[in-house]
Chains A and B, each alone.
Chain A
Amino acid sequence: SQTIHQWPATLVQPVGSPLSLECTVEGTSNPNLYWYRQAAGRGLQLLFYSVGIGQISSEVPQNLSASRPQDRQFILSSKKLLLSDSGFYLCAWSPSGGTEQFFGPGTRLTVL
């Protein structure tokens, strides 16, 4: 069966510090991968998605970036965090050509 992992589960970072959140998927090949951000009490905002290794599409211009160095690994990064980057970050995957998404447990990021 397929599983999706995200880490860390929680993170507190100072403003201006770098960020690296990792997401890995097991049990499937060539998945579509997604990064979402969810502010407290809000909906889901799609940040990035990828349909293959090295391919990244950005939905929202900001100081975040994403990379997909391996087929089942998706990384969300920032060189300098802003206060507004605080939120709940969710990684998701869907089968290639599929529509249903499967979400990871999320990372709660607090920027102070």
Chain B
Amino acid sequence: GESVGLHLPTLSVQEGDNSIINCAYSNSASDYFIWYKQESGKGPQFIIDIRSNMDKRQGQRVTVLLNKTVKHLSLQIAATQPGDSAVYFCAENRRSYIPTFGRGTSLIVHP
């Protein structure tokens, strides 16, 4: 699948700037979406989730936006810090317990 075979796109930002990471999904029947953060050499970790009956959800320094019309999901990170450097994956749930992961985006934060 696409998320497996292609090199990851990269987003470079300056420390203190806001970051926006985007993800497109394909199945309008997906009802649950998750963002994961994967630091180098580690397993992915949950950041934030959103259900399809919501447009926006906020966490600590992170906001997820869901646009069901265009099947688009975004993760906004406020005041990006060097510790935010990682690969970020979106995942959609098409089946009840099998998520489909997006291709991932590598975020590089420059001090």
Q: Which residues of A contact B (CB under 8 A)?
A: 32, 39, 41-46, 49, 51, 90, 92, 94, 97-106, 108
Interface: B93 (CB within 8 A): yes
Interfacial residues, chain B to chain A (CB-CB below 8 A): 1-8, 32, 34, 36, 41-46, 49, 89, 91, 93, 96-99, 101-104
30 contacts between A and B (CB under 8 A): A32-B97, A41-B7, A42-B5, A42-B7, A42-B8, A43-B2, A43-B4, A43-B6, A43-B89, A43-B101, A43-B104, A44-B44, A44-B101, A46-B98, A49-B97, A51-B97, A90-B43, A90-B44, A97-B96, A97-B97, A99-B32, A99-B93, A101-B34, A101-B46, A101-B99, A103-B36, A103-B43, A103-B44, A104-B43, A105-B43
- Judging by beta carbons under 8 Å apart, are B4 and A44 in contact? yes
- A-B interface pairs (CB < 8 A), number: 68
A99, B99: Cβ atoms under 8 Å? yes
